[in-house]
Amino acid sequence: MPTLKSGAIIVGAYANKVRKTLFAQLKNDIKAGTITSQEVARAAGELNQLLFKLFVEKMRLDKGDVVRITCDYLVENNQIKWVWSTLKVEAYRKVAEDEINYFLKDLLPKQS
């Protein structure tokens, strides 16, 4: 069963990454006529709509936060079907530079 794996990507670019990854994985199937590019675009859009609701509406992630997306899919009867039970999302929030510098200031040795 093929698996879409986005790798670590900022939230602001996940949709494009999902679409490009799916097209890259299925390029031979498109060339062979097993599946159309319109179907690949439709399936990418379906996953991206769900992820948008998760990232923006539910989790309220910032564009600079990082996510990693993994989901299996099947190609049956010229259609892509997501195996939703395998959808895995990892999210990492960006920490503000000011906050990091505040803690670093306490940890760094004092210079005389």
Helix (H) or strand (E) holding 70: strand 66-76
Residue 71 in domain: yes
Mean pLDDT, residues 5-13 taken together: 96
Owning domain of residue 86: 3-107
CATH of the domain at 72: 3.30.470.50
For residue range 52-104, what is the model confidence (pLDDT) as tens digits? 999 999 999 999 999 999 999 999 999 999 999 999 999 999 988 999 999 99
Q: Is the pLDDT of residue 51 over 70?
A: yes
Q: Is the pLDDT of residue 37 over 80?
A: yes
Residue 68 in domain: yes
Residue 112 in domain: no
For residue range 15-24, what is the model confidence (pLDDT) as tens digits? 999 999 999 9
Cβ count within 10 A of residue 22: 22
The tally of domains found in the chain comes to 1
pTM of structure: 0.86
Residue 61 in domain: yes
Residue type, 86: T
